[in-house]
Structure 1
């Protein structure tokens, strides 16, 4: 699936819920079902700066695509990063760099987060883009 198709799917998923309590629960469940990051990848170099909670993000490069793994010490934050990985995992660096996560505004996520969590969300997106850029230039 393309990044755009996955984002449209996420928007449809969130349209099924009547209120933000149900949406928060959905995000938390996504975090719980996210594959675990390897302990070796829970290092300081994989720690995202700018997040209130601890968030680790690791990327492997295989067959021209980035394979992400992540974790957080906060359950809601873990769900948020799992949403981002849902759209960007197993995509090419070019696709990642040319597709902004518009689903965030479409579902109203940023305005339903505290300012520190919203900043953390932006930091996660920035780190995903930086990893894509690094792998693009390294493998060009």
Structure 2
């Protein structure tokens, strides 16, 4: 399985194929459609991302020593955004998620092409995924 930097590089390369932002949005929508849905039991208030204009649920659970994420959103673009983040962070060790930079978001121009509310939501999604990693990392270190 590839590491976070390799996944980010793949995403940057994929987005570089599209010259027009409408094509990039379409690509994000397609990514969102392929997102494995979060189980209904995890669509709770404690798993909802604060600071997002649409409703986004993110749930993380450990599988062996790696953190796996599932998510859903009621907005199709937002669903694409979270699909990108899950692709980068899911299946990675908590300490790698904590230490990862997210420069690839700027490289693909995502933040600058989102509304301010969606850009804030993107930051909140990354923050929440890193919070899961911090929580699971501290549990591992206690064991």
Q: TM-score, normalised by structure 2?
A: 0.97
Partner of 2:103: 102
- SS of the equivalent of 2:31 reads helix
Q: Describe the superposition over 1:77-96 as per-residue Cα deviations: whole angstroms up to 9, x where unpaired.
A: 00000000000000000100
Following superposition of structure 1 onto structure 2, how do residues 109-124 of structure 1 map, counting pairs within 5 Å? 109-124=110-125
- Output aligned runs, 1:25-104, within 5 Å: 25-104=26-105
Instruction: Report the aligned-residue RMSD.
Output: 0.5
Secondary structure of 1:139's counterpart equals: helix
CA distance in 1, matches of 2:87, 2:63: 17
Q: Within 2, Cα distance between the matches of 1:131 and 1:104?
A: 20
3-state SS in 1 of match to 2:54: coil
1:19 aligns with 2:20: yes
Mapped to 2, the partners of 1:100 and 1:81 lie a distance apart of: 16
How many equivalent pairs are there? 140
Aligned-partner Cα distance in 2 for 1:36–1:27: 16
Note the alpha carbon deviations across 1:31-88, whole angstroms, 9 max, x for none: 0011011010111110011111000000111111101000000000000000000000
Distance 1:33 1:102 in 2: 24
Partner of 1:7: 8
Gap regions ≥5 residues in structure 1: none
SS at match of 2:38: coil
Off by >4 Å, runs of 4+ in structure 1: none
